[in-house]
Amino acid sequence: MIGIFGGTFDPVHYGHLRSALEVSEIAGLSEVRFIPCHRPPHRETPGATPRQRLEMLKIALENAPPSFRIDTREMERPGPSFMVDTLRSLRDEMGLRPMALILGADAFRGLERWHQWPDLFDLAHLLIMQRPGESSDWPQALADIFKEREAPGMPSLHERPQGLITSISVTPLAISASQIRSRLKAGKSVRFLTPDSVIERIRAWRLYSCGENETPPEA
């Protein structure tokens, strides 16, 4: 089963990397496909350009397991990056192979705002990662869907191509890209929140107001 990990990655951090690794082990994924969005439909414009976010992701994955791959289809597609379009194009390529969308609990909570969200279940399973500070007290429609579609066990996800949901416990890491951006803006260190190679790139490109008026954080 292939895992699809979409995100803005503005910037990528250890919360993404470690959670992806644990989900991959627990769900028995043959591949984790990181798909950086070009233009996120549900949030403000990212602080870094699509190219810069992609480059940071590439650097972060340099020493990652070979099953961690980057897919640039959203970067190449004009218009807003709707996940449902991405999953449709992946499904066309994958035939009936099981495919699972990996989502943090915060992202799942906002699922009803996603373009054509009920169609997601016709295309992939959903693996929901717990995230610190997020309860699993979902809005009613999502709680109902969860109940209806909850996977009876991990093997069941491998037995059909799509349509089931499961929640996966990962080591809780309260790291977020917004926290990293605001620490940089305040001239604080972000070391050990994201790989040093990503921090070096942030400094070199002076991203997220880093180094504009403040001393750059130590790498």
Residue 103: exposure state from Cβ atoms within 10 A (0-12, 13-18, ≥19): buried
Closer residue to ligand ATP, CB minimum distance, 9 or 217: 9
Tokens of 177: 């890209």
Check: CB of residue 3 under 8 Å from CB of residue 26.
no
Give me the numbers of helices (H) and strands (E) for the chain, helices first please: 9, 6
Residue 129 in contact with ligand ATP, rule: CB under 6 A: yes
Among 19, 22, 209, 27, CA closest to 124 = 27
Smaller CB separation from ligand ATP, 57 or 164: 57
Site string for ligand ATP, 89-128 (x = CB under 6 A): --------------xx-xx---------------------
Q: Does 175 bind ligand ATP (CB under 6 A)?
A: yes
- Which residue, judged by CB position, is nearest to ligand ATP in the bound state? 104
Q: How far is the CB of 18 from ligand ATP (least distance, A)?
A: 8
Collapsing DSSP to helix, strand or coil, 107 comes out as helix
131 interacts with ligand ATP by CB under 6 A: yes
Cβ proximity to ligand ATP: between 92 and 137 the closer is 137
Q: Considering CB under 6 A, how many residues would be counted as binding ligand ATP?
A: 18
Smallest gap from residue 161 Cβ to ligand ATP (A): 21
Asked if 33 touches ligand ATP (CB under 6 A), the answer is no
| 125 DSSP 8-state letter | E
SS3 14: helix
C-alpha to C-alpha distance for 97 and 52, rounded to whole angstroms: 32
Q: What are the tokens at 8?
A: 């803005």
Nearest to 208 by CA among 75, 188, 192, 197: 188
Q: How far is the CB of 95 from ligand ATP (least distance, A)?
A: 26
Residues 6-25 contacting ligand ATP, CB under 6 A: 7-10, 15-16, 19
In the complex, the smallest distance separating the C-beta of residue 184 from ligand ATP, rounded to whole angstroms, is 12
CA separation for the pair 132, 113 (Å, rounded): 22
Q: Nearest-CA neighbor of 104 among 154, 41, 168?
A: 168
Map the footprint of ligand ATP across residues 176-195, applying CB under 6 A. Answer: 176-178
Q: Least CB distance from residue 66 to ligand ATP, whole Å?
A: 21
| Residues at the contact surface with ligand ATP, assessed by CB under 6 A | 7-10, 15-16, 19, 103-104, 106-107, 129, 131, 173, 175-178
